């Protein structure tokens, strides 16, 4: 298995001591600091408490000046993911002014036009050949190893500390050179209209920050979905009917009750394939 050593980034945390009162943390009660979360957008909210992933949206069919542009989506994405993930490469394309702040990236099957709508550019962007780049800091609340499981129709690529650790895109191997080292477990368990890719194990130390970047996107248009779960090494999970582990979704903060209830509704029959309980990866102070 490929491991990634945890690095101690000396980057200050967003101002304001945000804790998780009632969830085993110190400091202020998060309910007093978090904006009201709703499912107006599963791609994130327009308000931030400083602990979420920050999402930016790009249309690869247009230049930054909104002129039509022809680009090979797959070729660009492969070149981008094999390089430094420089934002300047993405900023050559039309970018939505609106940023979104996501506590989780669980987006069950839906029409792909909901992405440009969420970022406020529904009238400017047709729902094909778009990318959304999310980034932030995660601070695992445990020491040991964990890995991501994920799938998307069409694009889901996760990078931690400048290294790709998961490519759960619909077309395996099309957008990155990354390959799973999980053997037969990789792409074994179905979800949405595909199967879950299994990521690399990541070595972590409790309280040590890691930089995370996540790319999601849609190439042809039509429908979109993305699922991102986490597994801690050595932890036992309940098993589903097909002997799959029922893993928790990746999330930065505890889900507020209203958000959780609506998310369960959106998940429909897939709610039995994953858990909303599990670790939170935002820094707790």
Q: Whole-angstrom Cα distance, residue 278 to residue 140?
A: 11
The pLDDT, as a whole number, for residue 138 is 98
> What is the distance between the alpha carbons of residues 246 and 255, in angstroms, rounded to a whole number?
18
Mean pLDDT (whole number) for 138-150: 98
Question: Is a pLDDT exceeding 50 seen at residue 135?
Answer: yes
Q: Give the pLDDT score at 37.
A: 47
Residue 25 has pLDDT above 80, yes or no: no
Checking if the pLDDT of 273 tops 90, the result is yes
268 within a domain of the structure (yes/no): yes
50 Cβ contact partners less than 8 Å away, ≥ 6 residues apart: 13, 14, 15, 16, 18
Q: In this predicted structure, what is the pLDDT of residue 41?
A: 82
pLDDT digits (tens, 9 = 90+) for 65-106: 999 999 999 999 999 999 999 999 999 999 999 999 999 999
Residue 5: inside a domain, yes or no? no
The CA distance from 155 to 218, in Å, is 6
Percentage of the chain exceeding pLDDT 70: 85
Q: Is 284 a member of any domain?
A: no
Residue 40 pLDDT grade (very low, low, confident, very high; cuts 50, 70, 90) = low
110: CATH: 2.60.120.380
Give the structural domain span for 248. 30-273
Q: Is the residue at 14 inside a domain?
A: no
pLDDT at 89: 98
State how far the alpha carbon of 257 is from the alpha carbons of 31, 43, 106, 263, in Å. Answer: 11, 18, 16, 10
- The per-residue pLDDT of the chain, averaged, comes to 88
Q: Is residue 17 part of a domain?
A: no
Cβ neighbors of 116 (< 8 A, separation 6 or more) are 57, 59, 96, 122, 124, 125, 126, 127, 130
184-234 tens-digit pLDDT: 999 999 999 999 999 999 999 999 999 999 999 999 999 999 999 999 999
In a domain, residue 47? The reply is yes
Residue 228 falls inside a structural domain: yes
Domains of the chain: total: 1
Q: What is the pLDDT, as a whole number, of residue 64?
A: 98
Residue with more model confidence, 257 or 114: 114
pLDDT greater than 80 at residue 21:
no
> What average pLDDT does range 263-271 have in this prediction?
92
10-19, 116-125, 179-188, 275-284: range with lowest mean pLDDT? 10-19
Q: What is the pLDDT of residue 88?
A: 97
Q: Is residue 172 part of a domain?
A: yes
Q: Who has greater pLDDT, 30 or 44?
A: 44
């Amino acid at each position: 298995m490929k491991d990634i050593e945890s690095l101690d980034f000396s980057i200050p945390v967003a101002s304001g001591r945000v804790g998780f009162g009632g969830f085993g943390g110190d400091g202020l009660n998060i309910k007093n600091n978090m904006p009201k979360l709703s499912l107006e957008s599963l791609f994130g909210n327009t308000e931030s408490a400083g602990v979420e992933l920050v999402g930016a949206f790009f249309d690869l069919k247009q230049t930054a000046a909104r002129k039509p542009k022809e680009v090979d989506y797959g070729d660009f994405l492969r070149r981008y993911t094999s390089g430094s993930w420089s934002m300047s490469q993405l900023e050559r394309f039309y970018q939505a002014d609106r940023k979104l702040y996501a506590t989780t990236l669980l987006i069950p099957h839906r029409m792909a036009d909901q992405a440009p709508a969420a970022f406020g550019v529904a009238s400017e962007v047709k729902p094909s050949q778009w990318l959304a780049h999310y980034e932030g800091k995660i601070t695992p609340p445990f020491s040991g190893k964990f890995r991501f499981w994920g799938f998307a129709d069409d694009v889901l690529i996760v990078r931690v500390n400048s290294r790709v650790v998961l490519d759960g895109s619909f077309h395996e191997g099309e957008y990155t050179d990354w390959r799973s080292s999980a053997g037969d477990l990789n792409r074994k368990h179905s979800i949405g209209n595909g199967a879950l890719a299994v990521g690399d194990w990541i070595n972590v130390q409790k309280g040590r920050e890691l930089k995370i970047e996540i790319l999601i996107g849609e190439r042809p248009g039509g429908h979109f979905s993305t699922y991102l779960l986490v597994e801690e090494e050595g932890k036992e999970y309940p098993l589903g009917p097909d002997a799959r582990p029922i893993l928790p979704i990746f999330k930065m903060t505890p889900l507020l009750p209203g958000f959780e209830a609506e998310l369960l509704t959106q998940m429909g029959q897939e709610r039995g394939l994953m858990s909303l309980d599990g670790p939170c990866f935002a820094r707790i102070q």
